[in-house]
Each structure stands twice: as C-alpha cells, then as structure tokens.
Amino acid sequence: MPFKLFINGEFTDSSGGEEYEVTNPANGNVVDRVARGNVEDARAAIDFGADALKKEKSSKTNIARILNIVSGLIRDHETELATLMTLEQGKTLVESRGEIKFFAHTIEYYAGLKARGSQVQISDPTKLAVVEKEPVGVVGAIVPWNNPVLLMGAKVAASLAAGNAIVVKPASTTPLSTLKSMELFKQAGLPSGLLNVVTGSGPVVGEELVKNPKTRKVSFTGETATGKRIMALASAQLKRITLELGGSNPLIVCDDADLDAAVNATLNGRFRNAGQGCMCVKRTYVFESIAPRFVSKLKERVAAIKVGDGMKSDTTMGPVHSMIQREKVELQVNETVSGGATLLLGGREPDDSELKAGSFYMPTLVTDVDRTSKLVAEECFGPALPIMSVNDLDEAIEGANSSIYGLGASIWTKDLGRAKKAAFELEAGTVLVNSLYGAGGWEIEVPMGGFKESGVGREYGIEGLESYTETKTVIFGS
C-alpha cells in the first residue's frame, strides 16, 4: 500500500490521484510509493486546519496531554521510524535512532511549555494592562530532507503547544518517516485537522502554503535561496515567517586547545549525517604552529570512517542523500583543488563495486585552501572539509566572519580570554566553546537560528514557542 497524505485526521489519496516513488540513496532501490499532493490538497488541508481551530474554541482539547502520549508512542516505535528514515534518507541507523529520540524529546519538551504573557503596571492607576500571547492560527511548515523528522518535530510541537493548527510539507525525497509518525498523533487522539501533511513539490505545495491567505505564519527550513523566495512571497501579506537557512559554520582551533577533543569535534561536526547538517562544521581555521599535528590526527580519524549502506551495523557514514547533492559537493571540491588547494583525503566516489549504485562520496579533507574558493565561500552540504592555517585569533575570527552565513561557530581553546573574545566577536546565532554539538546538532532548550543570510527568527526554546504566537495588549478601564 503506498503512503498517503494526512489531511483532517485521515490518510487520503491525492485529489489528482498521482503517486511517485521514494528511492534509497544507498542503492537506488524503491523504498515505497507515496501520493503526490497538489495545490487543491494543500488548500483542503489549510481549510481543515482553520475549521479545527474554530472547533477548538469550544472543545478546548488538552494538547499538552496528547503531546506527552505522542512522545511515548514515538519512543515505542523508534526502530520502525528509524529504519524508514535510513531507507529514504541514507543516514546510518544509529543516526536515525538519534533523530527519532530527539523528535520524542522535542514533543515532550513543548508539551510542558506554555507561552507566558504579563500584566503591566501603567501610569494611569485606574486601568489594568495585560499582554497576552495568542496562537497565530494556521501555520505552513516546509521541511528539508537532511533531518526530516527532527525538523518537522520542532515546528509541529511548538505550533500545537502554542494552540495552532499546522500543515506540513516534507521534502519530496523524505516524506515516509514523517507520514508514518502521523499514525502516532492520530492514535494519541489529536483532534482531526490540527495537524496535516501534504507531500509534493516546493514550487507547487510549498508556495501554496506561503501564498494562501488562511495561513498566518510560515516556518521554513532549507536553502538560503529558497528562503529568499519565500520571504518575497510572504511579504505580499506581511505574513509571519521563521526562516532557518544555510550555514557555513567555522571551527577555530587555537594553539592551546585540547587537540584530541578538537579533532573529535571536527570529525563529529563535519562527517555525521554525511556532512548534511545545517549546524555541521564546514570550515576550519587552525593556528599555524599546531596545524601539522591537528591535520595528521584528523586525517587518521577520517580515514577510518567506514562508508556504506546505513542499514549495515559497521557503517559509520552513509551515502550523500542524492546524486544531485553529490554532484554539488564534487564540483565544490574539484574547483577548489583545481584552484590550487591540496587534496589530502577523499575527493572521489568509493572504489567498492557494491556501492556503485548509491550516491556515495568519500570523506574529504582539503588543505592550503584559498578563501575565495567554492568550498569556503559557499555552504558545503556534504562530507568535505577545507582546513586553513591562521597566525592568531584575530585572523581566525576575521576569516570566520567573512561569510554571508552566520548560523553556528565554534572555538577550541583553554584560554578564557580567547574564548570570551570569540564568543563576543563571532557573527553566529550559536557559538560553541570547547563543546561538541548536541545529539541532534544542537540543544532543544535554547534558541537556534541565524545571523545574516542564515535566517530570520529562532526555533527551539521558549523563543521557538513564542514565534508561533501573536502579542495582544488588552487595557481594562475602570
């Protein structure tokens, strides 16, 4: 049975009757078929969302209780959901399990959170002023393929906890684990229409979520170029937007750093999920005096990465998500190397004949990199890392900040003064000091988002919840 859309609490065919195949990046095999949603399906889902919110005015469902049940069900179904994610996305089963755990934790976290208004003392003592946080209404959520369930989970949990209805559009290539998880929301008793999933292409279904006057907010995660298009479309109605976009996150290693820990952070930060994380480490600035030791230790660890099918227990890095994605990374590496950089490791597809049908790319290290090269100037969304030597912290920070992006940044040093300087001067929404990224790439309890062209607004933490509310001031006269 092909996977169906989830609209108004029911699994339904697309109104156009169309379906398409979802394929496994490790071997090109068909994982399953899925309904292809269209504009009419998106409109129906939005209308049901608006109706469900009207019904909620009288039924007043305890959403927090339902979200708690959902998080328990997600944990019970971890293996099933994680397996489906590895088959459609490519990451290792261990990584998929981590993502499902993070999904359950996110739902649980927002179940326990309430937006907090306030009562304000105003100068006229005969009046009472109250600042309320109200739900925005119907939310359109557009999700990429790199962490399909985790990113969907943040939008769904915060929207529902804030009292909204939501329509999710997953990436075309990773709709299955999202749709499977809808069974759990249904089983937990979430009222019909509050949560809907419509598959389909970005320009068709995604743009309808942005343009439809009944969606009051759009929460988008994806490429910066797509985010700019969404911002332009949303401006016609001054629609509320949260944009979580690309990043080219620098990691600075000072000469006093714990070298093994810094190597570990670089390895984990760059190569998990085959380098396809918004918060992944994408550029490294290493103090010249320790660069040879850092590079040699890192090279040894990266050479030991076992590339293969994510379903195999000895695999430590799965394929890049698609042939198109692999081509983008190959082009960035090839042009950087032909521009004079040194290819230290990788830079090619694996030799193993068993992997030829998949979109695999070997973990890649490049040194002597020119700062204007593609690997540095663009976001590299795959397993390739440019390493640059610097003379001091000023040069490292200057290099780190010379990017259109400002999502994450990290520094390794034992010197508090250097750590403080970097924390204050790095232009990024998240700065890590001597720290690995959390299990899902960041931590649920704190806001996440980008400076500069890495985005608008914040997800996660109380800020994430409040981004799904409107602020209303009510003044009571005497």
Q: Please, which residues bridge with residue 433 across strands? A: 411
Nearer to ligand NAD, 143 or 344 (CB): 143
At residue 250, the 3 state secondary structure works out as: strand
State the residue number with the nearest CB to ligand NAD: 202
Report the b/e string of 214-234 with b at 16+ CB within 10 A: ebbbbbbbbebebbebbbebb
> Residue type at 58?
S
Q: Out of 244, 378, 379, 427, pick the active-site residue.
A: 244
Smallest separation, CB 429 to ligand NAD (Å): 8
Beta-sheet pairing, 240-244 with 364-367: unpaired
Smallest separation, CB 420 to ligand NAD (Å): 26
Q: Please, which residues bridge with residue 103 across strands? A: none
Check if 278 is active-site.
yes
Nearer to ligand NAD, 42 or 422 (CB): 42
| Contacts to ligand NAD by CB under 6 A | 142-147, 151, 169, 171-172, 201-203, 206-207, 210, 221-223, 226, 229-230, 244-247, 278, 379, 381, 407, 450, 455
Nearer to ligand NAD, 102 or 287 (CB): 102
CB within 8 Å of 164: residues ≥ 6 apart: 53, 135, 136, 137, 138, 139, 217, 468
Smallest separation, CB 178 to ligand NAD (Å): 11
Q: Is 349 exposed, middle or buried (0-12, 13-18, 19+ CB in 10 A)?
A: middle
- CA separation for the pair 4, 22 (Å, rounded): 13
Q: Please, which residues bridge with residue 7 across strands? A: 10
Nearer to ligand NAD, 226 or 284 (CB): 226
Beta-sheet pairing, 165-169 with 195-197: parallel
Smallest separation, CB 251 to ligand NAD (Å): 16
Sign of the torsion formed by the C-alpha atoms of 92, 94, 100 and 105: negative
Q: How far is CA 222 from CA 110, 225, 228, 342, in A?
A: 23, 9, 10, 31
Cα dihedral value 308, 265, 363, 311, nearest 10:
10
Q: How far is CA 449 from CA 42, 221, 297, in A?
A: 27, 10, 32
Residue 241 φ/ψ, nearest 5 degrees: -135, 145
**What is the DSSP-derived secondary structure letter of residue 203?**
I
- CA separation for the pair 221, 245 (Å, rounded): 6
Nearer to ligand NAD, 95 or 207 (CB): 207
Residue 288 near residue 344, CB atoms below 8 Å: no
Residue 464 near residue 455, CB atoms below 8 Å: no
Q: Out of 278, 280, 380, 459, pick the active-site residue.
A: 278
Cα dihedral value 414, 415, 416, 420, nearest 10:
-100
Residue 109 near residue 445, CB atoms below 8 Å: yes
Check if 280 is active-site.
no
Catalytic residues, by residue number, are 244, 278
